[in-house]
Amino acid sequence: MAAVEEHIQELAVLGISRPSTLPVFYRVSHDQLTQDTHIQVVGEETSGEVEACVFAVEGELLVGVASDHTDRKLEAHSVALSKQICAKPIGDVVWRFSDVKAHWDELILRSWVEENGVQVLYQEGVLSSLRTPQDLIAGFTGGQQALPDGTAMACGTVPAKGGIRPAASFSMELHDPRLNRSLRHSYSIQTLPEVA
């Protein structure tokens, strides 16, 4: 809860209200999930945040790395709309959840942003600071142990170093130190003009 509270405080600095409940589940249409390496956004106030993402395929839970790219200006008005308006990049390699379940808390989330042409570490934290997928799935499904097939769920993020901010590109990693492997994905962000 301490890490969740820290992220809530980061958002409060941007004028974004505290969620009504914790955890809160924002729905996003399936066509927003993309494996592209380039996304387009409107305006200068969007940013990514790395998350482990679980999804169910034929009764099996898989794990990927994703970015909950969000319009921060719109988020101050409506979190649900701010989530829906931006593409959600996800890597094209996954792991079986059963292969990492026993050491889930040891997995490390990291992201980097491009600032002034340089890659800067933006986020880093262990999954022990976040709720487990089992806990989130039970909360979302009303106590069920499995996600419905075809459902993806982002599992939360870790605080940003130096505050939440836009960038020209976003790189993300879910690292497994026990099995010495990583899931990675990167994407560039093209800003379209915000015309009234």
- Nearest-angstrom CA–CA distance, 174 and 143: 27
**Domain layout of the chain by residue ranges:** 2-192
- Nearest-angstrom CA–CA distance, 158 and 184: 16
31: which residues sit within 8 A by CB, 6+ positions away?
A: none
pTM for the whole structure: 0.88
- Render each residue's pLDDT in the chain as its tens digit; 196 residues: 566 666 666 766 767 666 566 678 889 999 999 999 999 999 999 999 999 999 999 999 999 999 999 999 998 888 889 889 999 999 999 999 999 999 999 999 999 999 999 999 999 999 999 999 999 999 999 999 999 999 999 999 999 999 999 999 999 999 999 999 999 999 999 999 988 7
CB 50 within 8 A of CB 110: yes
22: which residues sit within 8 A by CB, 6+ positions away?
A: 1, 4
Q: How many residues does the chain have?
A: 196
Please provide the CATH number assigned to the domain covering 2-192: 3.90.850.10
CB 19 within 8 A of CB 80: no
Strand pairing report for 181-192 and 38-42: parallel
